[in-house]
Amino acid sequence: MKQPAHVVSALVENRAGTLSRISGLFARRGFNIDSLTVGETEDSAISRMTIAVSGDDAVLEQIVKQLEKLVDVISVRELEFSSCLRREIMLVKVKADQKNRPSVIQVAGIFRSRVVDVSASTITIEATGGMEKLDGLIMLLSPYGILELARTGMVALERGERVLSLEGNKKP
10/44 same-domain check? yes
- What value, to the nearest 5°, has the Cα angle with vertex 114 and ends 111 and 119? 125
Burial class (CB in 10 A: 0-12, 13-18, 19+), 127: buried
Q: Count up the domains in the chain and report the number.
A: 2
62/109 same-domain check? no
Q: In this structure, are residues 101 and 119 in contact, taking their beta carbons and an 8 Å threshold?
A: no
Q: What is the pLDDT of residue 114?
A: 96
22/71 same-domain check? yes
Q: Please give the Cα distance from 115 to 145 (Å, whole number).
A: 16
Q: Please give the Cα distance from 153 to 91 (Å, whole number).
A: 12
Determine the structural domain holding residue 35 and report its residue range. Answer: 6-78
Q: What is the pTM of this model?
A: 0.80
Of 170, 151, 161, 158, which Cα lies nearest the Cα of 46? 170
89/74 same-domain check? no
62/99 same-domain check? no
Q: Decide if 58 is inside a domain.
A: yes
Q: Could you read off the pLDDT tens digit of each residue along the chain, which spans 172 residues?
A: 556 678 999 999 999 999 898 888 888 888 888 889 999 999 999 999 999 888 788 888 888 888 998 889 999 999 988 888 999 999 999 999 999 999 999 999 999 999 999 999 999 999 999 989 999 999 999 999 999 999 999 999 999 888 887 765 444 3
**3 state SS of 62:** helix
Q: What is the pLDDT of residue 172?
A: 39
34/96 same-domain check? no
